[in-house]
């Protein structure tokens, strides 16, 4: 039994999710530890937490804890903090981008007919991509086009000079800013390596200059590697459109084989999904006493299969251990990123087999079955068979009876279609709604869970407060799964939570007030939406003019800093929760905020309290509205549609009705 900490939190302090609370109470009784209890046992290292630990050479590590103190080499706190931040951005960008690289190789193998079980599911998107990348399409078989597109994408990683092709997607003004500052990414790998080089001992020691490169590496992720990942995932597995599914631990089934896919890449999980409906394997499951095979996900592998195939999600980042603790998971199949090393040890208390699959990821104690796209279906079948073999070994299960309905799958292509139909697909209605003030602004809530704070509390609080204030939410990653748990990803949520103007828009379009746009690499969809909003007209000429904010209130990953850097460099105001990893240096904190705002129009701020986040978000949105000359936000003007109002307006002329509803005669 782990030692009882004086700081042990109540289940409600650990998570607002009733499913998590139920399992954590059981785990405490049994003395089984989790990230929640480990976070209570181990305080964060104060030197590392505020960015003042320098480990880039072996004359140290140096701990810069006193005013004016420098490292052995003379490095100042500004340099040390900026280097730490930039290195985190490099690691985050590398992770996202390498995921994109793997997908490009899968497309190449698929198009060459060498990838077992895969096919090009969205040839239209492939064609659009080909045109964008200068690949001829006229009269060519789609597979041939696929080979060329894959090769073009692969070449972006090793590109040494010039500009990444997807930079062209950005608004003209934005590209100009990047070019003038010299931060247009030359190649995806190059910008990451550049950071590792310049932060080596004895290189770049000017904090502002180091942080400029953090923007460049971030941009190579957002407008490079992640964009490749999103585009090719759509080509191979289909571009998401809304569908119905469920979220939370209650999606596991007591009488079926439960397989969880966890991590980030959709490649193997899509094949496992196919294998779960293989008649032979279904018979085999029945032979072992199971009524069927249930596939569900955790983290972003879950988001990938949720938004495309409607595969239910068992939860977000902090649910990975809790899922195993239900005793009902026969196999947890992991690929890359956000996989806790605690899983195999934890699984020893149960019958669960933890299976690593990526050539890049082995975990001591886990079974390794290496993924190879050339034999993907065979490998997937082998994994499903292993899970079935575990089913008879199950002990007592405790699946919380907690799950929520969700409608995810809002790709930018679908949002376009949703707003105008195939006849007039357009962002015009969205721009109009923002311009009129029905929608006050847009917030992208992304990022993780972090056991240093109450799981999902900030995601939930911010969603509720922002919806009430007529702010449309777009979400990805673990933030989106959190919203799913609390009912925000449904059309009905507009009636319950949205302010009057936003509710009108949701009523007219049928969309939920919170749009689940995919996994963390799919934050690129948000960049695309913002660009299209700019191009549509009426909301400025660049992303920094749009009344929009990005938030990651419960972040924990280096990838979150990469996303924050590319979003800010793209013109967005980004607010991160938890803790300021640059707190040791006022200079670095100021460069990321005021300094970057002067340079690129976007900035990163770290705000611990969610109440303060709401204040800053609304203030920023209102200032951007004012700068655009838009009417100030006035909620009382809207929300007079709906049956309850019909009696009052039935006898009016159309003009009078318009005036009664919107405070102005028709045509104004
Ligand atoms: O890439 S939100 S915990 S799962 S890092 Fe990880 Fe954070 Fe979840 Fe997706 Ni993104």
The string of pLDDT tens digits covering residues 378-424 is 999 999 999 999 999 999 999 999 999 999 999 999 998 887 765 56
In ligand 1, the atom with minimum distance to the C-alpha of 557 is 5
pLDDT recorded at residue 182: 98
pLDDT recorded at residue 36: 98
pLDDT recorded at residue 4: 44
Nearest CA to ligand 1 atom 5: 557
Nearest CA to ligand 1 atom 6: 338
**For ligand 1, mutation pick of 226, 453, 477 (most atoms within 8 Å of CB):** 477
Any alpha helices (H) in 112-122, and if so which ranges?
Answer: none
Q: Given a cut of 50, is residue 205 above it in pLDDT?
A: yes
Taking the C-alpha atoms of residue 120 and residue 137, their distance in angstroms, rounded to an integer, is 15
In ligand 1, the atom with minimum distance to the C-alpha of 337 is 6
Helix, strand, or coil here: 156? Answer: helix
Taking the C-alpha atoms of residue 226 and residue 34, their distance in angstroms, rounded to an integer, is 31
Dig out the tokens for 652 from the structure: 């009016």
Q: Given a cut of 60, is residue 81 above it in pLDDT?
A: yes
Residue 278, φ and ψ in degrees, nearest 5 = -70, 120
Please list every protein residue whose CB sits less than 6 Å from any atom of ligand 1: 264, 299-300, 316-317, 338, 447-448, 477-478, 519-520, 557, 559
Write the CA distances from 110 to 139, 141, 307, 323, 495, integer angstroms. 20, 13, 22, 33, 45
pLDDT recorded at residue 1: 36
Cα–ligand 1 centroid distance for 192 (angstroms):
20
Round to the nearest angstrom and report the end-to-end CA distance of the chain: 70
Cα–ligand 1 centroid distance for 66 (angstroms):
35
In terms of Cα–Cα distance, which of 193, 209, 220 is closest to 93?
220
Cα–ligand 1 centroid distance for 577 (angstroms):
15
In terms of Cα–Cα distance, which of 525, 531, 559, 554 is closest to 544?
531
The string of pLDDT tens digits covering residues 480-502 is 999 999 999 999 999 999 999 99
Cα–ligand 1 centroid distance for 248 (angstroms):
16
pLDDT recorded at residue 635: 86
What band does 659 get if pLDDT is binned at 50, 70 and 90? low
Cα–ligand 1 centroid distance for 482 (angstroms):
12
63: left (phi over 0), alpha (psi -120 to 50) or beta: beta
Cα–ligand 1 centroid distance for 560 (angstroms):
8
Q: Given a cut of 50, is residue 644 above it in pLDDT?
A: no
In terms of Cα–Cα distance, which of 517, 504, 311 is closest to 416?
517
Q: Is the peptide bond before 161 cis (omega within 30 degrees of 0)?
A: no
Taking the C-alpha atoms of residue 413 and residue 634, their distance in angstroms, rounded to an integer, is 31
In ligand 1, the atom with minimum distance to the C-alpha of 303 is 9
Q: Given a cut of 50, is residue 77 above it in pLDDT?
A: yes
pLDDT recorded at residue 324: 98
Q: Given a cut of 60, is residue 662 above it in pLDDT?
A: no
Write the CA distances from 304 to 299, 482, 597, 610, integer angstroms. 9, 15, 33, 28
**For ligand 1, mutation pick of 100, 301, 447, 567 (most atoms within 8 Å of CB):** 447
Average pLDDT, stretch 133-143?
97
**What does DSSP say about strands 245-247 and 404-406: parallel, antiparallel, or unpaired?**
antiparallel
Q: Given a cut of 90, is residue 647 above it in pLDDT?
A: no
Dig out the tokens for 664 from the structure: 């102005």
- 10 Å Cβ neighbour count for 65? 13
**What does DSSP say about strands 257-263 and 245-247: parallel, antiparallel, or unpaired?**
unpaired
Nearest CA to ligand 1 atom 7: 448
**What does DSSP say about strands 293-298 and 313-315: parallel, antiparallel, or unpaired?**
parallel
Share of the chain above pLDDT 70, in %: 94
Cα–ligand 1 centroid distance for 470 (angstroms):
27
Share of the chain above pLDDT 90, in %: 90
- Determine contact, residues 583/50, Cβ cutoff 8 Å: yes
- Determine contact, residues 225/191, Cβ cutoff 8 Å: no
Q: Which residue matches tokens 């079935």?
A: 388
Nearest CA to ligand 1 atom 10: 520
Helix, strand, or coil here: 176? Answer: helix
The string of pLDDT tens digits covering residues 513-533 is 999 999 999 999 999 999 999
Cα–ligand 1 centroid distance for 225 (angstroms):
16
Taking the C-alpha atoms of residue 201 and residue 191, their distance in angstroms, rounded to an integer, is 18
In the DSSP assignment, the letter for residue 51 is T
**258 - beta bridge partners?**
294
Write the CA distances from 178 to 168, 601, 631, integer angstroms. 12, 11, 31
What band does 648 get if pLDDT is binned at 50, 70 and 90? low
**What does DSSP say about strands 353-356 and 441-445: parallel, antiparallel, or unpaired?**
unpaired
The string of pLDDT tens digits covering residues 528-558 is 999 999 999 999 999 999 999 999 999 999 9
Dig out the tokens for 562 from the structure: 């990469």
Taking the C-alpha atoms of residue 277 and residue 267, their distance in angstroms, rounded to an integer, is 17
- Determine contact, residues 352/388, Cβ cutoff 8 Å: no
Cα–ligand 1 centroid distance for 556 (angstroms):
8
In ligand 1, the atom with minimum distance to the C-alpha of 563 is 10
The string of pLDDT tens digits covering residues 238-279 is 999 999 999 999 999 999 999 999 999 999 999 999 999 999
In ligand 1, the atom with minimum distance to the C-alpha of 560 is 5
Taking the C-alpha atoms of residue 525 and residue 527, their distance in angstroms, rounded to an integer, is 5
Residue 543, φ and ψ in degrees, nearest 5 = -60, -35
- 10 Å Cβ neighbour count for 666? 13
Q: Which residue matches tokens 């303060």?
A: 612
Cα–ligand 1 centroid distance for 617 (angstroms):
22
Nearest CA to ligand 1 atom 9: 300
pLDDT recorded at residue 660: 61
In ligand 1, the atom with minimum distance to the C-alpha of 96 is 1
Average pLDDT, stretch 302-310?
97
Dig out the tokens for 533 from the structure: 């909003």
Nearest CA to ligand 1 atom 1: 520
Mean model confidence pLDDT for the chain: 94
Cα–ligand 1 centroid distance for 86 (angstroms):
19
Residue 182, φ and ψ in degrees, nearest 5 = 70, 35
Radius of gyration of the chain from Cα atoms?
25
């Amino acid at each position: 039994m782990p030692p009882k900490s004086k700081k042990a939190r109540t289940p409600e302090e650990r998570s607002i999710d009733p499913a998590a609370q139920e399992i954590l109470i059981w785990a405490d009784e049994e003395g089984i530890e989790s990230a929640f209890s480990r976070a209570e046992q181990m305080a964060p290292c104060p030197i590392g937490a505020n960015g003042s630990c320098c480990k880039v050479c072996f004359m140290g590590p140096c701990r810069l804890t006193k005013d004016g103190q420098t490292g052995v080499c003379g490095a100042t706190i500004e340099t040390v903090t900026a280097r730490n931040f930039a290195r985190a951005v490099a690691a985050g960008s590398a992770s996202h981008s390498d995921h994109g690289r793997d997908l490009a190789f899968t497309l190449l193998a698929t198009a060459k007919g060498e990838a077992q079980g895969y096919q090009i599911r969205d040839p239209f998107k492939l064609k659009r991509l080909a045109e964008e990348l200068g690949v001829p399409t006229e009269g060519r078989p789609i597979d041939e086009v696929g080979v060329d597109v894959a090769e073009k994408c692969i070449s972006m990683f090793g590109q040494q000079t010039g500009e990444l092709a997807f930079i062209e997607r950005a608004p003209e003004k934005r590209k100009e800013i990047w070019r003038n500052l010299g931060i247009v990414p030359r190649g995806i790998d190059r910008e990451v390596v550049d950071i590792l080089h310049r932060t080596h001992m004895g290189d770049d020691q000017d904090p502002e200059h180091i942080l400029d490169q953090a923007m460049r590496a971030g941009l190579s992720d957002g407008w490079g590697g992640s964009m490749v990942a999103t585009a090719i995932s759509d080509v191979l597995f289909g571009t998401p459109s809304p569908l119905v599914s469920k979220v939370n631990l209650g999606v596991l089934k007591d009488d079926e084989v439960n397989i969880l896919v966890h991590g980030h890449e959709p490649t193997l999980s899509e094949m496992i999904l196919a294998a779960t409906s293989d008649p032979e394997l279904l018979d085999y499951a029945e032979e072992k006493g199971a009524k069927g095979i249930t596939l569900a996900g955790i983290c972003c592998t879950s988001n990938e299969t949720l938004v495309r195939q409607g595969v239910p999600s068992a939860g977000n980042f902090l649910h990975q251990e809790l899922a195993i603790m239900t005793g009902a998971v026969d196999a947890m199949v992991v690929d890359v990123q956000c996989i806790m090393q605690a899983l195999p040890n934890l699984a020893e208390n149960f019958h669960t087999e933890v299976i690593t699959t990526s050539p890049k990821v082995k975990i001591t104690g886990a079974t390794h079955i290496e993924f190879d796209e050339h034999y993907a279906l065979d490998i997937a079948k082998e994994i499903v068979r292993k899970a079935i073999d575990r089913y008879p070994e199950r002990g007592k299960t405790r699946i919380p009876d907690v799950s929520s309905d969700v409608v995810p799958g809002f790709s930018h292509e679908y949002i376009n279609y949703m707003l105008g139909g195939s006849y007039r697909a357009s962002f015009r209605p969205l721009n109009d709604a923002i311009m009129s003030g029905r929608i006050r602004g847009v917030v992208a809530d992304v990022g993780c869970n972090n056991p240093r704070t109450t799981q999902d509390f900030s995601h939930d609080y911010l969603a509720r407060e922002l919806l009430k204030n007529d702010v449309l939410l777009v979400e990805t990653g673990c933030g989106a799964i959190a919203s799913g748990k609390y009912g925000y990803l449904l059309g009905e949520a507009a009636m319950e939570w949205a302010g009057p103007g936003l509710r009108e828009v949701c009523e007219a379009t049928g969309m939920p007030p919170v749009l689940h746009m995919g996994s963390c690499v799919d934050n690129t969809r948000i960049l695309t939406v913002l660009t299209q909003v700019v191009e549509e007209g009426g909301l400025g000429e660049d992303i920094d003019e749009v009344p929009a904010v990005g938030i990651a209130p419960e972040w924990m990953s280096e990838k979150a800093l990469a996303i924050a850097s590319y979003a800010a460099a793209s013109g967005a105001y980004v607010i991160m929760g938890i803790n300021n990893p640059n707190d040791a240096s006022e200079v670095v904190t100021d460069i990321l905020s005021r300094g970057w705002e002067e340079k690129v129009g976007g900035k990163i701020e770290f705000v611990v309290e969610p109440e303060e986040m709401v204040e800053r978000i609304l203030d920023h949105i209102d200032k951007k509205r004012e700068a655009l000359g838009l009417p100030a936000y006035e909620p009382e003007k809207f929300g007079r549609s709906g049956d309850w109002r019909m009696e009052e307006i039935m006898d009016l002329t159309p003009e009078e009705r318009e005036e009664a509803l919107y405070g102005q005669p028709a045509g104004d």
